């Protein structure tokens, strides 16, 4: 009886082990299939995201006080003031051009009769005492506001050229001219043009007018010219069209030039600035080609 139970127990145990073994095997097979499926899924390529839409290029407006644009401005002025693009050679320039302003000299035409030449020599002497022009300060003060050469003459002309020549005083003389140009003409012109919403061409139009007519407010000075333009058109800062306003400004500038015989040739407006404006070159981008007083010039870059 005991033996029979053992036999039956062994049989039942064997059957149970067989079932367990079979279940384990099925599970293993199922696991293998699942693992293989997972590997297959992992090998599938991930979808490539669509490329982002291209951004529009950023347009950078270059102001006239950018060093390259400032150099272009100096070349443009020099073409009209000195009939050359080599403005750096003009520190030594001096003559009486017969415009009622006495001697005209230097990189933008400082005048003995308008006070800016006196300012240049005063600043120069402060930096370089004993320079060739220091002795002429009393005479420059006396002739300020007139066309007189009293106390100046050939000696003053020689001293001016000597100050600009290579030597111990040259750097201080150039610095004095640069500083007066920037303080009285360039910086105020560019600042006002920016406030009016003008780009590089408009900034140059203001600067060139400031150089020739001075920064005053009478009808033939920069302030008067701008006032006349504002009576005809709005600045971009006021919501006006930039081209329309600059045409009005150049019209007013030309009218002011025609009031003086010495400035009756208006080519620096007609065949220079107006050419750039008509071409739509409001950023004053080179290459630039123009004429002043019948002479042709080009700046390539």
Measure the N-to-C terminal CA separation of the chain; round to a whole number of Å.
118
Q: Which one is catalytic: 65, 99, 182, 265?
A: 99
Alpha-carbon span 269 to 274, nearest angstrom: 6
Residue 266 DSSP SS3 = coil
Q: Is 180 a catalytic residue?
A: no
Distance separating alpha carbons of residues 156 and 142, to the nearest angstrom: 14
Pick the catalytic residue: 81, 96, 116, 196?
81
Does the active-site annotation cover 81? yes
Element (H, E) at 94: strand 94-95
Cα angle 263, 264, 265; round to 5: 90
Q: Residue 66 CB: number of other CB atoms within 10 A? A: 13
Between helix 187-195 and helix 200-213 the angle, nearest 10°, is 130
* Alpha-carbon separation of residue 218 from 117, 238, 281 (angstroms): 21, 23, 30
The pair of structure tokens assigned to 9 is 């127990």
Burial class (CB in 10 A: 0-12, 13-18, 19+), 61: exposed
Beta bridge partners of 94: 105
Q: Report the catalytic residues.
A: 81, 99
């Amino acid at each position: 009886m005991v033996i029979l139970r053992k036999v039956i127990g062994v049989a039942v145990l064997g059957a149970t082990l067989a079932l367990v073994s079979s279940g384990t095997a099925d599970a293993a097979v199922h696991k293998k299939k699942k693992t293989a499926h997972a590997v297959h899924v992992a090998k599938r390529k991930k979808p490539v995201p669509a490329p982002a839409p291209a951004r529009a290029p950023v347009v950078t407006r270059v102001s006239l006080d950018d060093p390259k644009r400032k150099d272009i401005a100096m070349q443009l002025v020099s073409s009209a003031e000195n009939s050359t693009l080599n403005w750096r050679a003009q520190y030594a320039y001096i003559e009486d051009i017969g415009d009622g302003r006495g001697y005209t000299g230097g990189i933008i035409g400082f005048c003995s009769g308008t006070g800016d030449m006196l300012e240049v020599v005063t600043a120069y002497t402060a930096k370089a005492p004993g320079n060739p022009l220091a002795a002429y300060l009393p005479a420059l003060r006396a002739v300020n506001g007139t066309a007189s050469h009293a106390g100046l003459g050939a000696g003053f002309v020689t001293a001016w050229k000597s100050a600009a020549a290579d030597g111990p005083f040259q750097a201080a003389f150039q610095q004095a001219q640069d500083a007066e140009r920037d303080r009285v003409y360039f910086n105020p012109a560019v600042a006002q043009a920016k406030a009016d919403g003008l780009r590089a061409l408009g900034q140059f139009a203001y600067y060139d007018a400031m150089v020739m007519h001075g920064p005053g407010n009478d009808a033939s000075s920069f302030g008067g010219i701008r006032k006349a333009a504002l009576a005809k058109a709005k600045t971009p800062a006021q919501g006006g069209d930039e081209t329309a306003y600059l045409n009005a400004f150049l019209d007013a500038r030309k009218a002011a030039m025609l009031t003086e015989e010495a400035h009756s040739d208006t080519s620096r407006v007609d065949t220079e600035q107006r050419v750039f404006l008509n071409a739509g070159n409001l950023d004053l981008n080179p290459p630039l080609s123009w004429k002043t007083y019948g002479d042709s010039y080009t700046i390539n870059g």
